[in-house]
C-alpha cells in the first residue's frame, strides 16, 4: 500500500460520525469503488460576549473582584485575633514635643497633686552629665540666674534623650531641686524656645512670680 493510501485509510478511521457518508450537497464523488463522504462546512454563528465595564484596575468586573478577594486575606480585626500582635503588646507611645517639660526622675518625690498631667508622657529632653533632664524650652535656675534648659546646656555638656516627663502645677516661687549642683527647675516654660520668651519669663521669676 502506498503512503497516500495509508493516509487516506487513517482519515477514514478518524473521521467523526457527523461525517457519515451521505451523498448530497457539498459531497465529492469519486470512482464507483470509493466511498463518498459529506463534510459539513457550515458553522454556527459566534455569540457576542458582553463584558461589564469596570472602574477599577481595568479588568472585567467579575475577574477584578475575584483577584482582590484572593489577594487580601482575612482581616484579623474581624475575627478578634490580631496575628500581627500575638502577645497583645501595648501600642507605641506617642512622643510629644510640648506641654510636659521635666523628666519624672526629678518629680518622683512630689505628690500627684503637684503635677499637671495625670499620666506621664514621652518627650525629647536635654540631659546633663548628672542626669538632670528637661525639654529645651523649660525654664531652669542655674546659680541664681533663670534661663532655658537649652541655654544651660550651652554652658555645660548635654545630650538628647527620650523619656517620661511631666510638668509642675504653677505655684508662686515654686522650685524643684535637680541632681546637678546649682540647678533648679521652675514651673515656667518657653513654648517657642525664643530669646524673647526667655527674657520675659526670667524677669517674671525674678520679681517673684
Half-sphere exposure of 127 (CA within 13 A, CB side): 20
pLDDT score for 67: 34
Model pLDDT, residue 75: 44
pLDDT given at position 11: 47
Which among 83, 113, 119 has a CA at the least distance from the CA of 100?
119
* pTM of structure: 0.55
What pLDDT is attached to residue 105? 93
Q: How far apart are the C-alpha atoms of 163 and 107, rounded to whole Å?
A: 13
pLDDT value, residue 100 = 78
Q: Specify whether the CB–CB gap between 103 and 165 falls below 8 A.
A: yes
Would you state the pLDDT for residue 174?
Answer: 92
Rounded CA-CA distance 105/166 in Å is 10
The one-digit pLDDT tens for each residue of the chain (209 residues) are: 555 445 444 444 444 544 444 454 444 445 555 555 555 556 555 565 555 554 544 444 443 333 333 333 344 444 444 444 444 444 445 666 556 799 999 999 999 999 999 999 999 999 999 999 999 999 999 999 999 999 999 999 999 999 999 999 999 989 999 999 999 999 999 999 999 999 999 999 999 88
End-to-end CA distance of the chain: 124
Amino acid at each position: 500500500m502506498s503512503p497516500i493510501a495509508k493516509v487516506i485509510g487513517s482519515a477514514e478511521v478518524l473521521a467523526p460520525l457527523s461525517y457519515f457518508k451521505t451523498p448530497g450537497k457539498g459531497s465529492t464523488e469519486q470512482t464507483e469503488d470509493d466511498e463518498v463522504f459529506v463534510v459539513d462546512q457550515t458553522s454556527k454563528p459566534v455569540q457576542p460576549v458582553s463584558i461589564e465595564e469596570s472602574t477599577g484596575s481595568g479588568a472585567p468586573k467579575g475577574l477584578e473582584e475575584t483577584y482582590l478577594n484572593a489577594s487580601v486575606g482575612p482581616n484579623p480585626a474581624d475575627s478578634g485575633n490580631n496575628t500581627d500582635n500575638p502577645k497583645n503588646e501595648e501600642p507605641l507611645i506617642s512622643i510629644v514635643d510640648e506641654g510636659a517639660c521635666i523628666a519624672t526622675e526629678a518629680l518622683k518625690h512630689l505628690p500627684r497633686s503637684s503635677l499637671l498631667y495625670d499620666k506621664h508622657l514621652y518627650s525629647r529632653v536635654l540631659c546633663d552629665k548628672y542626669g538632670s533632664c528637661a525639654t529645651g524650652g523649660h525654664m531652669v535656675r542655674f546659680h541664681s540666674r533663670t534661663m532655658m534648659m537649652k541655654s544651660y546646656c550651652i554652658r555645660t555638656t548635654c545630650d538628647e534623650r527620650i523619656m517620661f516627663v511631666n510638668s509642675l502645677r504653677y505655684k508662686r516661687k515654686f522650685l524643684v531641686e535637680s541632681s546637678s549642683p546649682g540647678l533648679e527647675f521652675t514651673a515656667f516654660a518657653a513654648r517657642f524656645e525664643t530669646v524673647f520668651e526667655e527674657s520675659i519669663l526670667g524677669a517674671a521669676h525674678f520679681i517673684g512670680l
